[in-house]
Amino acid sequence: MKPEDTVRFGMRALFGYPARTLLVLLAMAMGVASVILLTALGEGARRYVAQEFTSLGTHLLFVLPGRSETVGGPPPLLASTPRDLTLEDAMALTRIPSVERVAPVSVGAAPVSWRERHREVTLLGSTAALFEIRQLAMSQGSFLPAGDPFRGEGIAVLGHKVKRELFGNRNALGEWIRIQDRRFRVIGVMTPKGQSLGMDMSDTAVIPVASALSLFDTESLFRIILQAKSRQTVDRVKDSVIKVIRERHEGEDDITVITQDAILSTFDRILSTMTLTVTGIAAVSLVVAGILIMNVMLISVSQRRTEIGLLKALGARSAQILRLFLTEASVLSMAGAGIGVAIGYAGAWVLAGMFPAFPLQVPLWSLAAAVLTALVNGLIFGVIPARRASYLDPVQALAKR
């Protein structure tokens, strides 16, 4: 029997029972489509996070007060309060050779008002360096000017949303606003850059770090953001930062330095694991589809007993019968996989249209894995029915009903 005839015979048999064939195709297609869609979503999430991190700025290091390290032994009775991270510390870091910029950051909430309007706003105290580091952009006016960071000038840069809520469509530049009990002059408004990792810049007001520290009446910075000159120098900068701060803090390592790459790779690991997990769950539906194929083929074999007996009487070898039914099962699973791929891509396309910001993409490995699993599945679950068919005794199969 020629291979093309075997395939044709199998196709004819599948078309002979359209309802059954359609059901199996549907099950297989859903399985493959869900694998493709779920991996596309997982992969999209991973890319989205990576994208967000680059929008945060490149080769950054974050210096936080306090040591976040698990050490053995009993916890200290009174938690030794870490030394404050001060503006002087931040300025000391600017002297490290490979450091491009340093932005000290102080964060707090304060009531902001203009005429009768009041609003609680997140205040960011920082320096001119923040502009480059966070890759901000201005829609009006200018950002904090470079200058002595210890001088607490009464100037403020408003986020897009804050400006709109306080001033509406009116001009804000040059206006005096009140933050707590002090007066600040608005020197710029930022573009609606949007959310970056939980911090909505449009919902903040930026003031000089020295003003913020005195407003909050503290010496302690929230964190220091450093930008290294290049990706290669990030690790060296990290070591230098720890050394510089240790010298300034009487030999104690009481800060934590996190590099952007470390955060990114952590997220990457988490999201990759998540993608694999959902793929695994989706793959279960492929196995279910395989079992359905087995079921349907078993029914097919028992319904077509006389046909099988006849084929044997006409001189078909057992191996030929086996091949016929295996071909049927694999044609079924292949067609199902094909339809599933189409549905999966269509779904990804629709989702991409609905959420343009989300970089949805079907990874090639998942496409290959889904189609391959479908095929192997069809063959494995096709073996039992096909063997049953090939072992059928023709005399009994053809016996009068």
Partner 1 sequence: MIRLLDVDRVFEVGEEPVYALKAVTLSMTAGTYASVMGPSGSGKSTLLNIIGLLDRPSRGKYLLEDVDTTHLSDDEQARVRREKIGFVFQFFHLVPRLTAAENIELPLILAGVNAGERKDRVREALTSLGIRGRSRHRPDQLSGGQRQRVAIARAVVMRPRIILADEPTGNLDRASGNEVIEILEELNRTGISLILVTHDPALGDRASRKIIMEDGEIVSDTLKN
Backbone angles phi, psi at 109, to 5 degrees: -110, 140
Pick from 316, 363, 266: nearest CA to 44: 363
Minimum distance from CB of 289 to partner 1 (Å)? 24
Q: Which is nearer to partner 1, 21 or 259 (CB)?
A: 21
Q: Which is nearer to partner 1, 9 or 62 (CB)?
A: 9
Identity of residue 356: P
Determine if 203 is a binding residue for partner 1 (CB under 8 A): no
Minimum distance from CB of 333 to partner 1 (Å)? 21
Q: Which is nearer to partner 1, 242 or 398 (CB)?
A: 398
Q: Which stretch binds partner 1 (CB under 8 A): 113-121, 223-231, 280-288, 303-311?
A: 303-311
Determine if 142 is a binding residue for partner 1 (CB under 8 A): no
Determine if 11 is a binding residue for partner 1 (CB under 8 A): no
Determine if 389 is a binding residue for partner 1 (CB under 8 A): no
Which residues partner with 208 through β-bridges?
126
Determine if 312 is a binding residue for partner 1 (CB under 8 A): yes
261 within 8 A of 62, measured Cβ to Cβ: no
Kindly tell me which residue out of 41, 225, 316, 371 binds partner 1, with binding defined by CB under 8 A: 316
Determine if 16 is a binding residue for partner 1 (CB under 8 A): yes
Q: How far apart are CA 291 and CA 79, in angstroms?
A: 59
Minimum distance from CB of 306 to partner 1 (Å)? 6
Determine if 310 is a binding residue for partner 1 (CB under 8 A): yes
The residues, ordered by sequence, that sit 6+ positions from 373 with a Cβ below 8 Å of its Cβ are 35, 283, 286
Q: Which stretch binds partner 1 (CB under 8 A): 190-198, 256-264, 341-349, 393-401?
A: 393-401
Determine if 307 is a binding residue for partner 1 (CB under 8 A): yes
Binders of partner 1 among residues 231 to 250 (CB under 8 A) are: none
Pick from 97, 366, 344, 126: nearest CA to 233: 97
Q: Residue-wise over 371-384: b if at least 16 C-beta within 10 A, else e?
A: bebbbebbbebbbe
Measure Cα distances from 279 to 30, 213, 273, 317, 363 in Å: 13, 49, 10, 41, 12
Q: Which is nearer to partner 1, 12 or 243 (CB)?
A: 12
Binding-site size for partner 1 (CB under 8 A) equals 27
166 within 8 A of 114, measured Cβ to Cβ: yes
Residues present in the chain in total: 401
Binding flags for partner 1, 319-348, as an x/- string (CB under 8 A):
xx----------------------------
Determine if 315 is a binding residue for partner 1 (CB under 8 A): yes
Minimum distance from CB of 37 to partner 1 (Å)? 36
Which token pair is 316? 């078909």
Kindly tell me which residue out of 68, 70, 174, 401 binds partner 1, with binding defined by CB under 8 A: 401
Kindly tell me which residue out of 57, 152, 208, 309 binds partner 1, with binding defined by CB under 8 A: 309
Cα-to-chain-centroid distance, residue 107: 27
Determine if 13 is a binding residue for partner 1 (CB under 8 A): yes
Q: Which is nearer to partner 1, 281 or 313 (CB)?
A: 313
Pick from 186, 161, 160: nearest CA to 173: 186
192 burial (CB, 10 Å; 0-12 / 13-18 / 19+) is: middle
Determine if 351 is a binding residue for partner 1 (CB under 8 A): no
Determine if 88 is a binding residue for partner 1 (CB under 8 A): no
Determine if 115 is a binding residue for partner 1 (CB under 8 A): no
Angle of CA points 150, 152, 153, to nearest 5°: 130
Q: Which is nearer to partner 1, 107 or 398 (CB)?
A: 398
Kindly tell me which residue out of 15, 69, 70, 79 binds partner 1, with binding defined by CB under 8 A: 15
Minimum distance from CB of 312 to partner 1 (Å)? 7
Instruction: Provide the binding-site residues for partner 1, judged by CB under 8 A.
Output: 1-2, 5, 9, 12-13, 15-16, 306-307, 309-320, 394-395, 398, 400-401
